[in-house]
């Protein structure tokens, strides 16, 4: 029996967590370069195999090799609520597939099972390990490098396509395999990781400020309103929670600078696009995407009003699609029952974060501060896009928080294989 005192997990496992979480940010532009005219790419297929195959491997390790794993009471309560929420959603999916299949889209059940279970639930179970501060520091550093590489690759590929005349991205910067919403989210998390790590690694402050700058530029160029609003909301919360002259000066200089450079780059790369007008028009009558989402919101609310206790259907009836607002989606699909579980889950997770931050000796919560920033970002981001069933990043961070501990040597294994 071997006990790890410095960190609870191997670098290989932490790399799997990081790359399965953010690796598609790198894979998408590589697939664009390797297979530009193909709907499927070998690189993308290999990435999916890596995520699912790695998950099965680490689940095997979890059940057959790990001898002890420490979980605090708050984390265990949150974990049970996670499993309860997925059970409720599974019941809804099974009921709709059995009794209301005519109201669903042609591939709704297959896509929910494939994405929800194959690429979210199973990998989520695989990352259920005890994480101490040493683990989280390494995880966030790996994630920072992966996201930095991915954001730079996406921006470079988009710029190359624009300059070569093959650009088909429309009004917002993205690639064919990575939509503007995803690019905006990756860029925003890159900013938050760099911001959080500045408080831990003061000697690398200049480098991390440059990374923050790149992340913010990526958010602005993506044109993702959800990522932008969620990021600004997190920054406001950070400022209100820890008011300091340094932070106010940093944000007051960095934000206007990034906005100016972002507008300049877009005006040079795509002179036909008025960036300022596009941002001002977001949510207005001329914004067709916003108008469709308003209809989805209205339809989801109507379904909730009709069946408020247990919900009505896993998708919005008219468009046969999720409503791009995870709160409305939960109310629509599972009613008050599912929403109570979801709210309780987030309260327990926030309670666990508060406990971890109070126990750590790191300044301003250290790595647990980063966990808080990312969790709030993904909860807020879920108000603008995506489905709760496919919210891989949110579920990963919830599980990591559930199993985070201030204790060292919390994992004992029969023999170290991974």
Taking 90 as the threshold, does the pLDDT of residue 357 lie above it?
no
Dihedral of alpha carbons 222, 227, 233, 239, sign: negative
DSSP, res 117? I
Which whole number is the average pLDDT over 191-197? 94
> Is 356 contained in some domain?
yes
Helices (H), 66-179: 73-99, 108-111, 122-126, 133-164
Q: Is the pLDDT of residue 159 over 60?
A: yes
Please indicate, yes or no, if residue 159 is contained in any of the structural domains. Answer: yes
With respect to residue 386, please indicate whether it lies within any of the assigned structural domains.
Answer: yes
Q: What is residue 228's predicted lDDT score, i.e. its pLDDT?
A: 87
DSSP category for residue 325: -
Q: Is the pLDDT of residue 274 over 70?
A: no
What angle, 0 to 180 degrees and rounded to 10, lies between the N-to-C axes of helices 326-359 and 288-306?
90
pLDDT tens for residues 50-100?
999 999 999 998 887 766 666 788 889 999 999 999 999 999 999 999 999
Of the ranges 120-124, 206-210, 411-415, the best mean pLDDT one: 120-124
Is there a domain that residue 347 lies in?
yes
pLDDT confidence of residue 416: 38
User: Which domain does 43 fall in, by range?
Assistant: 2-413
- Whole-number Cα distances in Å, 17 to 149, 211, 367, 384: 17, 21, 16, 25
Q: Looking at beta carbons, which pairs linking 292-297 to residues 24 or more positions away fall under 8 Å?
A: 292/319, 293/323, 293/324, 293/325, 295/319, 296/321, 296/323, 296/324, 296/325, 297/323, 297/325, 297/328
User: Is 67 within the bounds of a domain?
Assistant: yes
pLDDT confidence of residue 276? 54
Average pLDDT, the chain: 83
In a domain, 418, yes or no: no
Of the pLDDT bands very low, low, confident and very high (cuts 50, 70, 90), residue 35 is confident
C-alpha span between 373 and 28 (Å, rounded): 25
Residue 127's pLDDT band, with cuts at 50, 70 and 90, is very high
The alpha carbon of 208 is separated from its chain's Cα centroid by a whole number of angstroms, namely 21
Give percent above pLDDT 70 in the chain.
79
pLDDT at residue 2 in the model: 37
Whole-angstrom CA distances from 160 to 29, 34, 73, 215, 270 are 11, 14, 52, 19, 12
Note the pLDDT of residue 4. 40
- What is the tally of structural domains in the chain? 1
| pLDDT score recorded for residue 98 | 92
* Ramachandran assignment for 123, one of left (phi > 0), alpha (psi -120 to 50 degrees), beta (any other): alpha
Look at 81 and 222; give whichever has higher pLDDT. Answer: 81
Please state the rounded mean pLDDT for residues 28-45: 84
Q: Is the model's pLDDT at 289 over the cut of 80?
A: no
What is the rounded CA–CA span in Å between residue 341 and residue 331?
11
- Tell me the average pLDDT across 290-296: 85
CA pair distance 343, 88, nearest whole angstrom: 14
Q: Comparing 324 with 36, which gets the higher pLDDT?
A: 324
pLDDT band at 5 (very low <50, low <70, confident <90, very high): very low
Return the pLDDT at 71: 78
The answer to which of 22-36, 226-240, 282-296 has the lowest mean pLDDT is 282-296
Judge whether residue 3 has pLDDT over 60: no
């Amino acid at each position: 029996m071997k006990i790890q005192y410095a960190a609870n997990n191997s670098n290989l496992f932490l790399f799997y967590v990081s790359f399965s979480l953010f690796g598609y940010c790198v894979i998408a532009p590589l697939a664009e370069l390797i297979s530009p005219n193909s709907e499927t790419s070998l690189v993308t297929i290999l990435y999916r195999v890596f995520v699912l195959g790695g998950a099965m491997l680490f689940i095997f390790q979890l059940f057959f090799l790990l001898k002890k794993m420490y979980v605090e009471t708050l984390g265990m309560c949150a974990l049970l609520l996670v499993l309860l929420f997925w059970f409720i959603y599974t019941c809804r999916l099974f009921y709709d597939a059995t009794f209301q299949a005519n109201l669903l889209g042609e591939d709704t059940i297959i896509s929910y099972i494939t994405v929800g279970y194959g690429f979210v639930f199973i990998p989520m179970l695989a990352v259920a390990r005890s994480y101490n501060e040493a683990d989280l520091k390494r995880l966030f550093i790996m994630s920072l490098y992966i996201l930095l590489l991915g954001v730079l690759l996406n921006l470079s590929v988009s710029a190359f396509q624009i300059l070569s005349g093959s650009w088909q991205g429309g009004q917002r910067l993205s690639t064919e395999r990575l939509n503007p919403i995803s690019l905006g989210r990756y860029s925003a998390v890159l900013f938050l990781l760099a911001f959080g790590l500045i408080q831990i690694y003061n000697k690398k402050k200049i480098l991390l400020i440059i990374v923050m700058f790149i992340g913010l530029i990526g958010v602005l160029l993506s044109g993702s309103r959800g990522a932008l609003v969620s990021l600004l909301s997190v920054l406001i919360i950070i400022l209100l929670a820890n008011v300091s002259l340094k932070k106010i000066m940093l944000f007051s200089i960095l934000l206007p600078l990034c906005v100016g450079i972002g507008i300049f780059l877009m005006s040079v790369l795509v002179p036909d696009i008025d960036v300022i007008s596009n941002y001002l028009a977001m949510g207005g009558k001329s914004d067709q995407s916003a108008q469709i989402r308003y209809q989805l919101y209205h339809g989801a609310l109507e379904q909730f009003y009709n069946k408020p206790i247990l919900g009505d259907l896993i998708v919005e009836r008219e468009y046969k699609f999720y409503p791009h607002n995870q709160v409305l989606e939960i109310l629509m699909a599972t009613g008050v029952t599912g929403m109570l579980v979801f709210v309780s889950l987030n309260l327990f997770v926030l309670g666990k974060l508060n406990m971890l931050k109070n126990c750590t000796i790191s300044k301003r919560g250290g790595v647990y501060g980063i966990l808080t920033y990312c969790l709030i970002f993904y909860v807020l981001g879920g108000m603008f896009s995506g489905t709760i069933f496919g919210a891989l990043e949110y579920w990963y961070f919830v599980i990591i928080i559930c199993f985070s501990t201030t204790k060292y040597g919390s994992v004992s294994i029969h023999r170290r294989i991974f």
